[in-house]
Amino acid sequence: MTDSAQPLEGGRDPSLYRPNVGLALFSKKGHLLLGRRTGVRKDETRYAWQMPQGGIDRGETPFEAAIRELGEETGLEARHVELLEEVEPWLYYDFPPALKARLSGPYFGQRQKWFAFRVTGSDTDVRLDGHTPEFDAWRWAELSEAPDLVIPFKQPVYAEVALRFARWSLPV
């Protein structure tokens, strides 16, 4: 594994990584909500799934960004979830060179603050159409499945999240 695949800071300059939040949303049965990214070609579905995530806007705290992203990507509101845990420290991933070349901006990758939430509402509360859709479908999955379903450059972060949030994948 190269340094760029390590999810911990490891001497990286945080100012070169876009601040971002990630959300692990657990059901009462301990399953994890995964969304299928929009725009994925039908022949590239192997890495089409991910947990909700998004950038932190200027003036927002990571928690405020997490609640905003929760609504934008899943339609869930703060009243539909309970906070379980916030990961310390920030987790990092680098953009692969081909992606970095297509992106405008100074960032080498993203640094993410991860939150675990328990969904206290029902499946009918999940709505993917409340904002510009990030996902075209969603499903409940085992937490252990998530690292293999996400695009490869994010897999080390997902593996770290799976380790840190494993206790929340048990039924309540």
Beta pairing class for 17-26 and 109-119: parallel
Q: Residue 29 pLDDT > 50, yes or no?
A: yes
- Average pLDDT for the chain: 91
43: pLDDT confidence band, cut at 50, 70 and 90? low
CA distance 147 to 157: 8
Q: What residues have CB less than 8 Å from 132, skipping those under 6 apart?
A: 72
CA distance 27 to 121: 9
Tell me, what's the pLDDT at 2? 45
pTM: 0.91
The arithmetic mean of pLDDT across residues 50-74, rounded, is 96
Q: Residue 42 pLDDT > 80, yes or no?
A: no
Q: Name the residue ranges covered by the structural domains of the chain.
A: 3-169
Give pLDDT tens digits for 112-132: 999 999 999 888 889 888 777
Are residues 115 and 83 in contact, defined by beta-carbon separation less than 8 angstroms? yes
DSSP letter, residue 128 = T
**CATH superfamily, with its number, for domain 3-169:** Nucleoside Triphosphate Pyrophosphohydrolase (3.90.79.10)
